[in-house]
Amino acid sequence: DGNYMMVMEYTKQGSLGKLLNSKYGKLDWASKVANLYYIASRLNTIYYTNLVHKDFHSGNIVNQNMYSSYITDFGLCKPVSQDSNSKALFGVLPYIAPEVLYSHGKEYTQKSDIYTFGIIISEVFTGYPPYYNIPHDNVLAIKICYSLRPKIRCKVPQLLLDLMNKCLDTEPQNRPTAKELGDTLHQFFKDLKNNKTELYRQIQNIKDLDKNFITYDQVKYQTHPQAIYTSRLLNLSNLPKPGNNTYIFIKLVNMLLIVNLLIYKMQVMIFIFLDWI
């Protein structure tokens, strides 16, 4: 009758977000690195066809088992060369790169997906979705443009942190490619089995590594009612241009502190002078 049906493989573990939510404590380092490797590898396959995903987050990654991930939901996927004329921004706010937020979706490139991959790395490391305890609103978007990134509140090997931070760089051109990520993570996976490697040494130097992680606890893990992890239309405004804003912000704060200190000293001197008179 002209109708078509698409049959897809059933993934027993559900989304990556669901897997981390329910079985984070069962994931060892090999499983975490393997998951990230497969995600990077699938992402590279998408890029090989000259596409970008545009709605990349842990809810659109599914797992057949504890270590192998697949990317799904290509409804917004488009060719890299295709310009976006839409002024609407659609997605899950915590996973969207700052340049995409600022441009309302017009500056979406493959490197924007790489930023999202960095957010996913933080989620795999901690077991917590990004910014789960604050509203996903215009204020958060502004903070992301001002270089806010998810906190890693647990011990993680420095090599893995460095890789995550490269993905989360404010400047898109400084982020690695999906192929570079895949190659690095594949090497890391092999290094986990070799006690002469730096990664193996870093892991061994973290005492009781798994115990030091923030494990999932329903009492501690209270998601803010305005933290939304489903794709939606985002109405954002007055966002600052992304860049090395952290340093500018710190300098401004320091200047204000110095000015306030000088004003205080002047007031003290005036009081002393008046008292002397």
14-15 vs 51-52, strand pairing mode:
unpaired
Let me know if 138 is exposed, middle or buried by CB neighbors in 10 A (0-12, 13-18, 19+).
middle
Task: Point out which residues pair with 89 in neighbouring strands.
Answer: 234
Residue 138 is predicted with a pLDDT of: 94
Mean pLDDT of 214-227: 70
237 DSSP assignment: -
Residue 169 is predicted with a pLDDT of: 96
**130-187 pLDDT, tens digit each:** 999 999 999 999 999 999 999 988 889 999 999 999 999 999 999 999 999 999 999 9
Residue 64 pLDDT class (50, 70, 90 cuts) = confident
| Residue bearing the bigger pLDDT, 47 or 277 | 47
Residue 220 pLDDT class (50, 70, 90 cuts) = low
SS3 63: strand
**193-209 pLDDT, tens digit each:** 999 999 999 988 875 55
**28-54 pLDDT, tens digit each:** 899 999 999 999 999 999 988 888 888
Q: Distance between CA 2 and CA 57 in Å, rounded?
A: 34
78-79 vs 61-63, strand pairing mode:
unpaired
Residue 76 pLDDT class (50, 70, 90 cuts) = low
Edge-to-edge strand order for the sheet containing 69-71? 14-15, 61-63, 69-71
Mean pLDDT of 235-260: 71
**77-88 pLDDT, tens digit each:** 555 555 555 567
What does CATH list as the number for 14-243? Answer: 1.10.510.10
pLDDT surpasses 70 at 91: yes
Residue 96 is predicted with a pLDDT of: 97
The pLDDT > 90 percentage for the chain reads: 53
| Residue bearing the bigger pLDDT, 74 or 217 | 74
Q: What are phi and psi of 73, to 5 degrees?
A: 60, 75
What is the average pLDDT score of the chain? 85
Mean pLDDT of 98-125: 94
CB 11 within 8 A of CB 64: yes
| Residue bearing the bigger pLDDT, 51 or 97 | 97
- Stated as kind and residue range, the H or E segment containing 233 is strand 232-234
64 DSSP assignment: S
Q: Distance between CA 269 and CA 52 in Å, rounded?
A: 63
Residue 4 is predicted with a pLDDT of: 87
Task: Point out which residues pair with 233 in neighbouring strands.
Answer: 90
pLDDT surpasses 50 at 219: no
Residue 85 is predicted with a pLDDT of: 56
pLDDT surpasses 50 at 233: yes
CB 71 within 8 A of CB 39: yes
SS3 213: coil
How does DSSP assign 249-271, residue by residue? Answer: HHHHHHHHHHHHHHHHHHHHHHH
pLDDT surpasses 90 at 58: yes
Structure-block tokens of residue 124 = 């795999």
pLDDT surpasses 50 at 218: no
Q: Quote the pTM value.
A: 0.81
Strands (DSSP E) contained in 75-181 are 78-79, 89-91
pLDDT surpasses 50 at 3: yes
CA-closest candidate to residue 98, choices 61, 39, 145: 145
CB atoms within 10 A of CB 257: 10
- Please compute Rg for the chain using Cα positions: 22
Domain extents in the chain: 14-243, 245-276
